[in-house]
Amino acid sequence: MNSLGVLMEALASQSINTIKTNLIWLLRTTWIVGTLPILIASLPSPCLNSFHSLLLSFAKRGKIMPSSSHRFTVPQSFFLHFYLLALIWTTTLLMGTCSVDDRFNVWKAVFLLLLMEIHVLRRLYETFQVFNYSPSARMHIVGYLTGIYFYTAAPLSLCTFCVLEAFNFAADQVAEFKVEGQEMVPITDFDLWGYMKPLTRLGWCQWTGAVIFAWGWFHQLRCHAILGSLRERGDRTGEYVIPHGDWFEVVSSPHYLSEMILYAGLLVASGGTDFTIWLLLGFVVANLVFAAAETHRWYLRKFENYPRNRRAILPFVY
C-alpha cells in the first residue's frame, strides 16, 4: 500500500508539473501573439499601412475614435469591468498563494500580487471618482476583449510557478470546511504578523522594484487627476483642452508612460528571472507606445498651438 501511495503521489506531482508547464507556455504564447502584430504594424513600410489602420481601429477609444466608427463598439465606461475582474481575480490568487508553504519564491509572488492589487484598487477608484466618461465615448469590442484577457492573464503571469498549488490548497480548504462543518476562524485568532513576517525576508530586488512601481503609480494618479479635471471642464465648455501639469509638460500620454514604469517595477521586483513577466512587460510597452503615438497625432491635428516640445510617450525621444 505504501508503494502504491508513493506511486500515486508521484503521478499527481507529475500531472501538476505538466499542467503548470502548459499554463506557462500558454501565457507566453499569448503575450507573443499579442505583441508581434503591434510591432509589425509599427514598422515604417507603405505596404503595412492597411494593417496599421486595421490595428489602430481596434485600439482607438474615447476622443480619438471618430463618431462614424461606432460599429462593433462598447461604452468606454466598460473599463469598470476590467478592474472589477482584476480585483476579484487578483484577490483570489493572493489568498491562495498566501496559503502555500513558506518559500521565498512564494512570498515573492505574494509581494507582486499585493502590488498588482494596489494598482487595481486605485484604477477601480478612479473609474468611479475621477473619470466621468462621456455617454458617447466608445471603444472597439476587440479592445474590450483584449482588456478582459489582460486583467486575467497579467496576475497569473506574476505567480505561475505556484498558482496550481494555491488552487489545490484553496480547494482542499473548501472541501474540509464542507466535510467537517468548520466554523469561520474568529478574527482574534487571525495571525496577521504570521502572514506578513515572510515579506521581511524579501531582498533588494523586491524593494527596488516596489520603489519604481510606486514612482509610476503616484505619477499615474496625478496624471489621471489632471485628465479627470479636463473632462469636468470639457463638460462645461463643450471642447477638449490641452492638458498641463506633471509629466504632461514633456509627453502627450504620461499616464501610459507611468503605466510602463509601473510594470517595469513589477519586473524588477520579480528578480527579472521569469521570462513570462518579461513578455508581459513587452506587451504593455508595445500596446501603450502604439496607442500613445495615435493620441499624440490627434493632439497635433486638434490644436494648432499644441506644444511642439512634447513627445508622444518617451521624453525627448519619441
pLDDT tens for residues 229-257?
886 554 544 578 899 999 999 999 999 99
Task: Please report whether residue 317 resides in a domain.
Answer: no
214 domain-assigned: yes
- Compute and round to an integer the Cα radius of gyration of the chain: 22
CB 109 within 8 A of CB 162: yes
Distance CA 289, CA 284 (A): 8
Say if 286 falls within a structural domain.
Answer: yes
Say if residue 100 is exposed, middle or buried (CB neighbours under 10 Å; 0-12, 13-18, 19+): buried
Lowest mean pLDDT among 124-138, 169-183, 198-212, 299-313: 169-183
Q: Which domain holds residue 274?
A: 2-302
**Residue showing cell 497635433:** 300
Q: Considering only CA atoms, which of 311, 138, 131 is closest in space to residue 229?
A: 131
> Does residue 74 carry a pLDDT above 70?
yes
Amino acid letter, 221:
L
Region of 157 (left: φ > 0; alpha: ψ -120 to 50; beta: rest) is alpha
Indicate the pTM of the whole model.
0.86
Q: What is the DSSP letter of 312?
A: S
Distance CA 229, CA 47 (A): 41
Please check the confidence at residue 108 and state whether its pLDDT lies above 90.
no
C-alpha dihedral (159, 162, 167, 169), degrees to nearest 10? -140
Residue 175 has pLDDT above 90, yes or no: no
Q: Is residue 222 part of a domain?
A: yes
Residue 100 has pLDDT above 70, yes or no: no
Distances (CA, A) of 107 to 96, 104, 190, 273: 12, 5, 18, 15
**Domains held by the chain: number:** 1
> Quick check: helix, strand or coil at residue 155?
helix
pLDDT band at 169 (very low <50, low <70, confident <90, very high): low
Q: Is residue 66 predicted with pLDDT exceeding 80?
A: no
Higher pLDDT, 102 or 190: 102
Residue 309 domain-assigned (yes or no): no
67 touches 130 (CB < 8 A): no
Rounded to 10 deg, the angle between the 141-157 and 275-302 helix axes is 150
